[in-house]
Structure 1
Amino acid sequence: MPIISLRVSDKQKKDMENMKWINWSEIIRSTIEDLIPSLKHQDLAKAVIISDLLRQKKGNEPSMDALSILRTWRN
């Protein structure tokens, strides 16, 4: 498994050290895992909006408007 590092404030580090029973690595891994799908959807939504804007500038009609796609991904 690859290793990553991150920086926290001195206060955060002290607070973490005072809660040694918590597996901070697992919390961070789990949080990253939960965020990745949401962030991928955001990237897709941005791409759809940009694509629609480019089509509108060229005079082409988008196949589906960006707002409806965003609503689909949010649900």
Structure 2
Amino acid sequence: MTSISVRVPDEIKRKMKKLSNINWSEELREVILKIINQEENKNIAEALLSNEELRRDADSKWDSTDLIRNWRDNRYGTPSD
């Protein structure tokens, strides 16, 4: 496990020392994980919103098969009969 250092004002350190029954390392780990999860969820939510906006803007009658066929024909040549 990696160690990190956190600087806190002397007053906070004194208050933490008075509350010696609290595992401050574990509390900080939990807060860090909570923030990481919130940020990851925020990124997922933003991606979902972007995806929905793109879907909304797309023409519902558009058929991708013609485009894919065109790409394949250009890449591999037109299939011969």
Q: TM-score, normalised by structure 2?
A: 0.51
How many equivalent pairs are there?
59
Partners of 1:47 and 1:6 in 2: how far apart? 33
Matching residue of 2:6: 6
Q: TM-score, normalised by structure 1?
A: 0.54
Unpaired segments ≥5 residues, structure 2: 59-81
Q: RMSD over aligned Cα, in angstroms? A: 2.7
Partners of 1:5 and 1:45 in 2: how far apart? 32
Displacement of 1:33: 1.2
Larger Rg: 2
Matching residue of 1:31: 31
Partners of 1:48 and 1:9 in 2: how far apart? 41
Unpaired segments ≥5 residues, structure 1: 61-75
Matching residue of 2:15: 15
Note the alpha carbon deviations across 1:1-58, whole angstroms, 9 max, x for none.
00011111111000001111110001001111122111123345567889xxxx9xxx
Counting aligned pairs with the same residue, the percent is 35
